[in-house]
Amino acid sequence: MATTIAPKRDDLLRGLRQSGGVCLMFIDGAFSAASDGGTRKLINPSSGEVSAVVAEGTKEDAERAIRAARQAFDSGPWSDTHAQDRAKLLFKLADKIDEHFTDLSRLETLNNGKPVRETEYDVTDAANCFRYYAGLATKPHGETFDVPAPSQTFVVREPIGVCGQIIPWNYPLLMGAWKLAPALAAGNVCILKPSELTPLTALLLATLIEEIGFPKNVVQIVLGTGPVVGQHLAQSPLVDKIAFTGGTKTGRAIMLASTGNLKKVTLELGGKSPNVVFADADFDTAVDYALFGIYANSGQVCSAGSRLIVEESLHDKLVSKIVERAGKIRVGDGFDPETEMGPIVSRAHQEKVEAYIALGKQEGATLACGGGRLPGELGEKGNFIMPTVFTNTRRDMRIVQEEIFGPVLVVQTFKDEAEAIAIANDTIYGLAGAVFTNDIAKAHRVIRKLRAGITWINTYHPTYNEAPWGGYKQSGSGRELGTYGYDSYTEVKQINVNLDVAPSGWFSD
Ligand code: NDP
């Protein structure tokens, strides 16, 4: 193994506001400890060592942030600022992220474990997300309608208000950008709650936001667990919108908790996405993207291509190549420059993935490769699972139906186009899907039949700030990114103007 390029832990944490070695959250314009002094130790998923200690926010901390946000929105200057001024701040934030590119990517690797080459990509993508929405803020958002004279009707978009934004641990900084950028561009105020497992890059982002000089309480970062802090944000009558990315079960709980004041809810949830490969596909491209689709970020991706649905005649050749290539993937510490696939985010999640692997064997699927932990000392300390492939599966198996969220590919087969589509749509999810074929008409026919919000032809995973992201069925509700993401942070107001100012005469004088 090559020498690790891990910077010293203390150097990485230097950019964060700390008190007595505890990284602080950002509430009411100040970096604060938890109301009860509670803390949490974060664990480096590659080494099992403590990477940082952070404040563990409470319900009281969440409430303090909510009240500060409410006041900032109702009487602060932010929602009345000109879009140009909001754009300027967002452009500055994008530039600051670029300036802190190395710190942010290394901090993300320390916290989440993913390889530096992935975290570098995430940081660039996050900066570009802020830049995209900075540009969009000043573009036209209204509409006018020709209605019967003497009226003129037009529509303006206005901010929703206080937005609670609950994000997961698989793309901590990037998910923060996806949530904050459109919301701020549209003039909302935000309370961001990172996952309790991976809050470090959000805390560095808070210091950048403070440095740039965003008005007070336009962005607050509250730490703490989902069931305490996340739940309180979802329940609070003072919060106008919740935007959530995470598991489907949690999404359901958030939707229920939000009913009290019927707040707007956007949910980006799980998936069990089909990657359909026809026998006429470009073989090397299909192999390459099958691997990338499932093993990028160790399979901890909502849109992962976790079901490979392959035409029967190609099955043996495709699977044997995938198994051969999966066996060569270099699994290791995210700071090792040779690492291609990092650890699972936590020991608890590793055990959940392992339980699914055991279940797959019990259900009678064939383990074609992987299935175990990384051998050796690193594998003992960190949460590593080797790239895994199951063949000989049935549609009703739980490993085929449920989201595993790890490096586990299940292979299914089909005889013809109709069966491929039926299998592809046969789960409760509908987030993403892909088709590989050299027959472009067939590719389009199949894609149009997929019940999924994000689809690819002859590729897997590319994601663009410009295009909408979100799912059909139980993969979510609403869309993020692009103009759709901006719209989801706005209320639509109809304005009717009487161009002939005179009494209507409806009632007699
Ligand atoms: P969760 O969905 O529970 O966590 C995502 C975010 O929601 C975190 O910030 C979490 O906080 C918060 N949260 C948890 N419970 C509540 C609640 N009751 N009210 C409000 N917020 C809450 O994901 P898990 O980490 O438990 O993973 C479970 C499964 O979800 C995974 O195995 C995977 O299948 C799926 N998942 C999907 C993701 C996606 O991108 N679609 C991302 C992550 C997970 P905290 O972590 O601090 O408790």
Q: What is the pLDDT of residues 301-343, one digit of tens each?
A: 999 999 999 999 999 999 999 999 999 999 999 999 999 999 9
Q: Which residues line ligand 1 (CB under 6 A)?
A: 166-168, 170, 193, 195-197, 225-227, 230-231, 234, 245-247, 250, 253-254, 268-270, 302, 403, 405
What is residue 8's predicted lDDT score, i.e. its pLDDT? 87
Q: Which two tokens stand for residue 284?
A: 């090397």
Q: What gap in Å lies between CA 358 and CA 411, rounded to an integer?
A: 16
Q: Above 80 in pLDDT, residue 287?
A: yes
Angle between the N-to-C axes of helices 101-112 and 172-185, in degrees from 0 to 180, rounded to the nearest 10: 130
Q: What is the pLDDT of residue 1?
A: 46
Closest CA to 190 of 170, 207, 208, 176: 176
Specify the DSSP class assigned to residue 229.
I
Helix spans in 258-344 (H): 283-295, 315-328
Contact 137, 483 (CB under 8 A): no
Tell how far the Cα of 352 is from the centroid of ligand 1, in angstroms. 14
Write the CA distances from 12 to 3, 17, 31, 348, 481, integer angstroms: 18, 12, 18, 25, 30
Asked if residue 430 has pLDDT above 50, the reply is yes
The pLDDT mean for the chain works out to 96
Tell me how far apart the alpha carbons of residues 170 and 299 are, in angstroms, rounded to a whole number. 10
Name the catalytic one among 129, 163, 302, 369: 302
Which is more confident, 225 or 9? 225
Tokens at 232, concatenated? 């309180």
Of ligand 1's listed atoms, the one at least distance from the Cα of 257 is 19
Percent of the chain scored above 90 by pLDDT?
A: 95
What is the residue type of 26? F
Under 8 Å CB-to-CB from 74, ≥6 apart: which residues? Answer: none
Query: Is the CB of residue 496 less than 8 Å from the CB of residue 153?
Result: yes
Model confidence at 160: pLDDT above 70: yes
Per-residue model confidence (pLDDT) at position 5: 63
Instruction: Given the residues 118, 196, 268, 417, select the one marked as catalytic.
Output: 268
Q: How many CA atoms lie within 13 A of 38 on its CB side?
A: 14
Is residue 369 part of the annotated active site? The answer reads no
Please name the helix (run of DSSP H) or strand (run of DSSP E) that holds residue 409, with its range, or none.
strand 408-414
Distance 247 CA to ligand 1 centre (A): 5
Average pLDDT of span 214-220? 97
What's the mean pLDDT in 416-429? 98
Q: Which atom of ligand 1 is nearest to the CA of 301?
A: 40
**Mean pLDDT within 211-216:** 95
Rounded Cα distance, 44 and 345, in Å:
8
Please report the pLDDT score of residue 146 as a whole number.
92
Instruction: Write the pLDDT tens digit of every residue in 460-477.
Output: 999 999 999 999 999 999
Using only C-alpha atoms, the chain has a radius of gyration, in whole angstroms, of 24
Q: Tell me, what's the pLDDT at 312?
A: 98
Q: Please write the tens of the pLDDT for every residue from 376-391.
A: 999 999 999 999 999 9
* DSSP state letter for 456: E
Looking at the chain, the whole-number percentage of residues with pLDDT higher than 70 is: 99
| Residue 409 dihedral angles phi and psi, to the nearest 5° | -100, 130
CA of 270 to the centre of ligand 1 (A): 10
Q: Output the six-digit token pair for 42.
A: 């974060």
CB within 8 Å of 181: residues ≥ 6 apart? 90, 129, 130, 132, 133, 134
Q: Does 302 participate in catalysis according to the annotation? A: yes
Residue 249 CA, ligand 1 centroid: distance in Å: 8
For residues 177-202, one letter each, b for 16 or more C-beta atoms within 10 angstroms of the residue's C-beta and e for the rest, the string is: bbbbbbbbbbbbbbbbbbbbbbbbbb
Please give the distance, rounded to the nearest whole angstrom, from the Cα atom of residue 346 to the centre of ligand 1.
Answer: 13
- Looking at the predicted structure, is the pLDDT value of residue 222 above 50? yes
From the CA of 253, give the closest atom in ligand 1. Answer: 18
Mean pLDDT of 177-191: 98
Confidence category of residue 3, pLDDT binned at 50, 70, 90: low
pLDDT tens for 12-67 read 999 999 999 999 999 999 999 999 999 999 999 999 999 999 999 999 999 999 99
